[in-house]
Structure 1
Amino acid sequence: MLARGTSIRTCSWSHRIGYSTAHKVFRETCSALWKALQPIYLKTYTRETMVQISENFFNRWQFPNCVGAIDGKHISIQCPPKTGSLFYSSYKKRFSIILIAACDASYRFTWVDVSDYGSQSDGGVWANSAFGQAIEADEINFLFPKEIPVILPFTFVADKAFPLGIHMMRPYARSYRTFGNAERIFNYRLSRARRVIENAFGIMSSRWRILRRDLCCKPETAEDIVKAIVCLHNFLMVSEDDVAPLERMYCPAPMLDREENGNVIEGDWRRELYKGPITDVGRLGSNNLTVRADAQRNILKD
């Protein structure tokens, strides 16, 4: 069901079991996949893993002190009974739950948060997420600031939807007071590093066809589905580490965005996707710059 996107009714007919039995098996299997694979393929951030992630980001995308790329998505669901407009997003005009995730330089998810109502304001999504609260409260066990050649903290990279902070770098807005070539080059470098999370979402949506339509189940089951797919995605990405990029089955090289002579060539996943249930969340936080974070971004730009 996860890979082909068929309905539970179709699966119950194919396996000649009752509809309620098939639904129970599917829900319990997704939950079991998360419990079994999460401790192995979605480990908690440690300083050792951050060192490896930051080195990979610098070697592959030439962005220093980066420990992950973050993005968020609305995942459409069927309207749950007796919930009114709780899950309805007036901005997206659909019922949804919200997924916020981080990934490393190899398109593997390193953290996910899926549970917020689609009706929440964009600012509330990030503020209420466990990861957003941990970063704001400085509870993440970040590495000590590293000299590059000036000493700067380690950060995540995100698009303009996310708020700028000490541990969150976002691009300069074109309305920035001194937007010029230096800011444009910084945005280019940050965009290259941040693109990995877009590709991770694209690979996941392209391979797991159940995400091509609205999830017709309870919100709790939808959360289990997404979390199971995230773990299976990481499992399959890791299993192909030793395979040549062009020979990989799950994520061959043409599926990913790439650069040729400075031009971005879009991956196959972008051409495969149509307007489906996974959409951007919009702005996630205040755009007001803090003096310290703005100064840190300027130093990193230089």
Structure 2
Amino acid sequence: MRSVWVRDWVKRRQDRGFYNQLLRELEDEVPLLYQNFLRMNIDDFHTLLELVSPLIKKQDSNMREVILAGERLALTLRFLATGDSFMSLQYLFRIPQSTISTIISEVCDAIHKALKPDFLKFPSTEENWLELADNFNNRWIFSHCIGAIDGNHIVMKAPVHSGSVYYNYKGTHSVVLMTIADAQYRFTYIDVCANGRISDGGVFNRTSFFTALTTDKLSLPTPKPLLGRDEPIPYFLVGDNAFALSNNLMKPYAQRNLNGLERIFNFRLSRARRVVENAFGLLASRFRVFEKPIQLNPEKVRKITIACCTLHNYLMMRSRIYFNPTMVDRCDGQGSVIEGDWRRITNIKNSFYPLEVRRTFVGNRGK
């Protein structure tokens, strides 16, 4: 039987806790620091709070006062923004670390559930896919492209009694985040189901997207000729050499004995494919939970990753301060690539890294 149900320093949360004291002071006096603390401005936070409150709001009990929905959301956003330990966060928010573990899991689920219908809506009609293709053509001059696909390992601590199930080619433990991004660095599809041990070349084949693609359930547009041509061309994703070439997935020519037209094709495909690489970069630069191996079990790592991807879309569509053009790769007047700022300000090489590149051969396109 407990001798103390709630310790005194926790009871003083309402009067001296971060959410009810310092965060409200920042909101009134220094909005820029408020924004830095939660990775979003005041309006975006309160809009998000309205959306998720019905899913995370709790009722007071006779034994203790409820932790407010705003506290729960602020706590979770701070964890995603920094990756701070639960031990550190408990002193900041005056919430015990065992409770923090439960709150973060619940709020991440709520963020995804509340935002998915409007901010992570999967294309379901031919018109949706054509709109994506038009955006790629207009912004990146690459016709018939409906998305850029890529995958990354999300490194975590070795799960208890998991053996080599999550052990990957880098010698760490991970789950794999597979995403498709549109021309504006927003995710249109995310999948965090594969464990790190699975061959990177086969991760895509295990996704629900691949299943829908191979069973013709995506409602993709009918193949059409390119401008000035007669042969119908299917609509396709663009990826790097971690993926297998197919009718609906285009990747670069092997980097050997290329003629001029093939080099131009590779340059333009790479320019279109970079949107998903830069979307990952933006995600990692804003949500520093990915800067080091996540010290949680695989299921919670999946929930955190999905929540961050969903928040990324939410802020890309709403916030003018989340995205800065200098953050992403761009081309100068001579066609040379200027690397985005995210490559210099993030430290994710050992905890957030790409799929292993497949070996390619000169003959892989029937040359």
Q: Which residue of the partner structure matches residue 253 of structure 1? A: 325
Deviation at 1:284, TM superposition (A): 6.1
Give 1:272's aligned residue: 345
Match of 2:89 in 1: 11
- Percent identity for Structure 1 against Structure 2: 40
Paired residues of 1:134 and 1:140 also in contact (CA < 8 A) = yes
Change beyond 3 A, Cα 1:98–1:287: farther
- Tell me, yes or no, if structure 1 residue 119 matches structure 2 residue 197: yes
Matched, 1:165 2:246: yes
- Separation of aligned partners in 1, 2:336 and 2:354: 24
Q: Identify the match of residue 237 of structure 2 among 148, 153, 156.
A: 156
Q: Does structure 2 retain, via aligned residues, the 8 Å contact 1:126–1:284?
A: no
- DSSP 3-state at the match of 2:267: helix
Which residue is 2:21 aligned to?
Answer: none
Larger Rg: 2
Unaligned runs of 5+ in 2: 1-78
Matched residue, 1:243: none
Given the alignment, which residue of 223, 226, 229 partners 1:145?
Answer: 223
- The answer to whether the Cα contact below 8 Å between 2:112 and 2:306 also exists between their aligned partners in 1 is yes
1 CA distance for matches of 2:340 and 2:153? 22
Distance 1:165 1:38 in 2: 29
Residue pair 2:241, 2:360 contacting (<8 A) in 1 also: no
Secondary structure of residue in 2 paired with 1:182: helix
Q: Is 137-146 or 213-222 further displaced after alignment? A: 137-146
One-letter code of the match for 1:215?
Answer: I
Could you list the runs of 5+ residues in structure 1 that have no partner in the other structure? 241-247
1:212 and 2:291 aligned: yes
Amino acid paired to 1:84:
G
Deviation at 1:255, TM superposition (A): 0.5
Secondary structure of 2:317 counterpart: helix
Q: Does the aligned pair in 2 maintain the 1:172–1:183 contact within 8 Å?
A: yes
**Cα deviation, residue 276, structure 1:** 3.5
Equivalent residue number for residue 192 of structure 1: 271
How many residues are matched? Answer: 283
CA-based RMSD: 1.9
1:244 maps to which residue? Answer: none
Equivalent residues of 1:126, 1:285 under 8 A apart: no
Q: C-alpha displacement at 1:7, in angstroms?
A: 1.4
Counterpart code for 1:279? Y
CA deviations over 1:223-262 (Å, ceiling 9, x no partner): 000000011000000013xxxxxxx311111111111111
- Equivalent-residue separation in structure 1 for 2:127 and 2:85 (angstroms): 42
Which of 84, 100, 104 lines up with 2:182 in the alignment? Answer: 104
- Conserved 8 A contact 1:123-1:285: no
Tell whether 2:316 aligns with 1:237: yes
Question: Are positions 1:29 and 2:104 aligned together?
Answer: no
Quick one: distance in 1 between partners of 2:250 and 2:284?
26
2:80 alignment partner, SS class: coil
The structural deviation recorded for 1:155 is: 0.5
Name the structure with the higher strand share. 1
SS at match of 2:323: coil
Length-normalised TM-score, structure 1: 0.89
CA contact (8 A) 1:65 1:155 kept: yes
CA contact (8 A) 2:201 2:242 kept: no
Structure 2 residue aligned with 1:61: 140
Are residues 88 and 161 of structure 1, via their aligned partners in 2, closer, same or farther at CA, if it must alter by over 3 Å? same
Q: 1:39 aligns with which of 96, 117, 125?
A: 117
Work out whether residues 57 and 104 of structure 1, in 8 Å CA contact, stay in contact via their aligned partners in 2: yes
For residue 135 of structure 1, what is the aligned residue in structure 2? 213
Residue 213 of structure 2 aligns with an amino acid whose one-letter code is: I
Matched to 1:280, the amino acid is: P
Query: 1: CA distance between counterparts of 2:276 and 2:353?
Result: 14
* TM-score, with structure 2 as normaliser: 0.73
**Offset of 1:188 from its aligned partner?**
0.5
For the residues of structure 2 that align with 1:174 and 1:217, how far apart are their CA atoms?
40
